[in-house]
Amino acid sequence: MAEFTLELNDDQKQVRDWLHGFAADVIRPAASEWDEREETPWPVIQEAAKVGIYSLDFYAQQFFDPTGLGIPMAMEELFWGDAGIALSIVGTGLAAVGVLANGTEEQIGTWIPQMYGDADDVKVAAFCSSEPDAGSDVASMRTRAVYDQAKDEWVLNGTKTWATNGGIANVHVVVAVVDPELGSKGHASFIVPPDTPGLSQGQKFKKHGIRASHTAEVVLEDVRVPGHCLLGGKDKLDQRLARARERAASGGERVKNAAMATFEASRPAVGAMAVGTARAAYEVALDYAKTRTQFGRPIIDNQGIAFQLADMRTQIDAARLLVWRASWMATTGKPFTSAEGSMSKLYASETAKKVTAQAVQILGGNGFTREYPVERMHRDAAIYTIFEGTSEIQRLVIARTLSGMPIR
């Protein structure tokens, strides 16, 4: 078991500096253009693939970092560059985590490489869980998966929404209901292979922030996938459903569903994304406060500005520590007895919203224009308290974990 330390080792520092250089030299110069275009920045993703950042090997190396800090460190640096472009680069990772969390070794080896493609033929993947009437309330999910035993196929019908890369992905991972009577415990995840008939893109959303990341509905109309596309396999699913029925009948312990297993694994990473955006806005505000003069002196000479910057930096560092703790605990097998993963996502997300708003205020009128990046950062930061579990849901998870009570 790796010893906990707040000091990055030489290899981690080298990776951090490499990512920071890519974020500074490639992502940041393109950020404003792709935010305005509201399109997937394929040229930037391809550049990331060419240098090895957008690849299965890179994410595997970070994922298996024995300290647990590889992924959060990478997320922070990329999102320091720009949240929209960075999400386009890392968005495939949520689908990959869905396969890692629920799939067999064969499924992992077969499908994850197809999610990324290669530097000459870049691909992306989508994780499809939310629905128009089922976001935080996963028990209300309506997308159905029905098993056709004669053909050993699953037939999927429904509409997914808020899917990053939805409709443009090479591989879609879809969470669907297989046993409606079990509520959220009757869900399973399925791979929808490339060019499967019946899957189409619905509405593409025009968003407040992270506009360089493609977000759309995914429509499933009699989508047939082979039996081996059920993540984990049918035997494992049947066993899990049987346990869920027994526990439901006896009022026993809760069983985690497929979507929640994915989100639990990704929450500290989302926290790291928020830290990156907050840090970027803080740095812009700090530099501005040092150079902007009013009444014959830099505005940082005023306590009203200086104290804000002190609080911003303190909150960013506290958020990073919560993210690192949760990431270290997950990697070393420490149980989240106090919902530490949700804590990290909650605090980092709220910090990003607050810090970017303060950055806009420090820049004054300039901060409200698109001539300065804090306006975009503030718009981008709003998503962190919403996706992959709202702040309200994180508080609910934490409260339930601490109290052991079914708080509603």
Taking 60 as the threshold, does the pLDDT of residue 1 lie above it? no
pLDDT band at 136 (very low <50, low <70, confident <90, very high): confident
* Helix or strand holding residue 63 (H, E): helix 56-63
CA distance 192 to 171: 6
pLDDT of residue 2: 58
Measure Cα distances from 98 to 152, 306, 307 in Å: 22, 43, 42
DSSP 177-188: ES-GGGGGGGEE
Taking 70 as the threshold, does the pLDDT of residue 77 lie above it? yes
Measure Cα distances from 354 to 73, 185, 317, 321, 379 in Å: 21, 36, 14, 18, 12
Strands 125-128 and 171-177, by their bridges, are parallel
Longest distance between any two alpha carbons in the chain, whole Å: 82
Is residue 304 exposed (0-12), middle (13-18) or buried (19+ Cβ within 10 Å)?
exposed
pLDDT band at 263 (very low <50, low <70, confident <90, very high): low
Strands 215-226 and 199-204, by their bridges, are antiparallel
Model-level pTM greater than 0.85?
A: yes
* pLDDT tens-digit map of 186-200: 999 999 999 999 999
CA distance 292 to 273: 29
The β-bridge partners of 156 are 145, 223
pLDDT of residue 250: 75
pLDDT band at 247 (very low <50, low <70, confident <90, very high): confident
> What is the gyration radius of the CA atoms in the chain, in angstroms?
22
pLDDT of residue 257: 55
Q: Which two tokens stand for residue 46?
A: 């391809």
* pLDDT tens-digit map of 178-227: 999 998 899 999 999 999 999 999 999 999 999 999 999 999 999 999 99
Mean pLDDT of 34-55: 97
Query: What residues are annotated to the active site?
Result: 388
pLDDT band at 339 (very low <50, low <70, confident <90, very high): very high
Q: What is the pLDDT of the chain when averaged over all its residues?
A: 94
In one letter, which amino acid is 22? Answer: F
